[in-house]
Amino acid sequence: MELPKISIITITFNSEKTLEETIESVLSQNYPNLEYLIIDGGSSDGTLEIVKRYKDKIDFVISEPDRGISDAFNKGIRYATGEIVGIINSDDLLLPDALHKVAENYDSNVGVYRGNTVIWNDKTGSKLVAIPSMSFSVYSFKRRKICHQSTFILKSTYDNFGAFRTDFKYMMDADLLIRFYRNKVKFKYIDANLAVFRLGGVTDTSFIKKLPEVRNLYRGNGANIIFTLWKMIESVSFGIGKKILFAFSGDKLKKLRYNK
């Protein structure tokens, strides 16, 4: 049986410090039906020089200004030609055999595949394993950390139900999955660690800055005002709790279950 074509998108902007490790984590998958795309936002450091060193192994590269992360994601999705699309940021890593594990679970009737993500704090060396939520009802979805690094989505799902909202800077992943869930897209859990997410990127930005998008996320997906206010309060509490957890977790590997 032929393995499904998997398109991996890496978006970059002045990413010279971490990009090469990310590229190596993708190419070392040794997955025979891989398409690798680099979407650069017009880097002025050594990012593009690193990309050039891998030009024979990267299928598509574009470097031009974009309108933010969601716009860059969407650009990559438009150019992707695989049945399955994954997004790995320029400071994150795919774990060994991740793509083979996704392919083993492939079913054309399943639109979204979600595996575990190792959340790594570079400053303290602490790690958590995030086990993903599989329920995205606007009223049952409880955690904002989506970890798109371990989420793989059929290209046809994007084509049918849309990609990322470009007016969102922080909550676009949550909005995307809630939208798919509302449209009865099937989700499947892959019981394996698929990727590493390094704390410190835009998705680790102050939870206070995310509050307007939390409001728009819930109101825009049909939640009432009272519930939306409660989720905003919960977002602040979760943000404070997460910072305390990482401050005291040390090197011990723990599991953080994000409301399956």
Q: Is 229 in the same domain as 150?
A: no
* Domain presence at residue 83: yes
More confident residue, 94 or 132: 94
The band of 250, judged by pLDDT with boundaries at 50, 70 and 90, is: very low
Task: Tell which wins on pLDDT, 222 or 198.
Answer: 198
Range of the domain at 228: 208-256
Q: Which of 198, 222, 241 marks a domain boundary?
A: 198
Indicate whether 45 belongs to any domain.
yes
In a domain, 203, yes or no: no
| Domain total in the chain | 2
115, 98 Cβ separation under 8 angstroms: yes
Q: Is residue 245, in this structure, part of any structural domain at all?
A: yes
Q: Please write the tens of the pLDDT for every residue from 170-192.
A: 889 989 999 999 999 999 999 99
Q: What is the pLDDT of residues 118-156, one digit of tens each?
A: 998 777 777 888 888 777 766 666 554 578 899 999 999
**Does 218 lie in the same domain as 183?**
no
34 and 98 co-located in one domain: yes
> What is the DSSP pairing of strand 93-94 with strand 187-198?
antiparallel
Identify whether residues 66 and 161 lie together within a single domain.
Answer: yes
- 194 and 123 inside one domain: yes
Same domain, 178 and 249: no
Within this chain, do residues 69 and 10 fall inside the same structural domain, yes or no? yes
Q: Which residues pair with 12 in a beta bridge?
A: 40
- Specify whether 164 is located in the same domain as 39: yes
- Residues 121, 139 share a domain: yes
Q: Average pLDDT of the chain?
A: 85
Whether 194 and 244 map to the same domain: the answer is no
CATH of the domain at 113: 3.90.550.10
My answer on whether 17 and 91 are in the same domain is: yes
Mean pLDDT, residues 190-208: 75
Distances (CA, A) of 191 to 95, 117, 150, 157, 253: 13, 11, 11, 22, 17
Residues 166, 22: Cα–Cα separation, whole Å: 25
Looking at the structure, tell me whether residues 137 and 156 fall in a common domain: yes
In a domain, 1, yes or no: no
